[in-house]
Amino acid sequence: MSDTATARRTLIPGPDHPITVTPNPKRVVVSAGGKVIADTRRALTLKEASYPAVQYVPRADADLGALERSDHHTWCPYKGEASYLSIPGIDRGENAIWTYEEPHDAVAEIRGHLAFYPDRVTIEERDD
């Protein structure tokens, strides 16, 4: 098997590597450089194995004009190929956001959503 085939294998979540996607009942506000990048009441919380939970925000609830698509891509055998976006003008804004444009069926709900590195932006979950 080639390195490319090994790197691109697809795995299905299960008891040894569970993944759940659930609606977040809270308002999620993402900001960077003093500017709100996303504000939604429709975030999805993805929990994967022992990793910290990730908030996925609908693209429609993000300020896409404040973001720039990058050429960076990564592969997750459980979710698929991630594309990245940057937040210009902030420290560590390069590739600060990822999205699965064609996620695997097991996590199809995250299609059309953005996720943010919590060490590069501020992510607040609010009750209001």
User: How far is residue 78's CA from residue 91's CA, in Å, rounded to a whole number?
Assistant: 30
Domain 3-126: give its CATH code: 2.170.150.40
Q: So what's the pLDDT on residue 6?
A: 52
Domain boundaries, given as residue ranges, for the chain: 3-126
pLDDT at residue number 8? 82
Hey, is 60 helix, strand or coil?
helix
**CB-based contact 58:113 (threshold 8 Å):** yes
> Consecutive sets of 10 residues in the chain, 128 residues long: mean pLDDT of each?
61 96 98 97 98 98 98 96 96 97 97 97 96
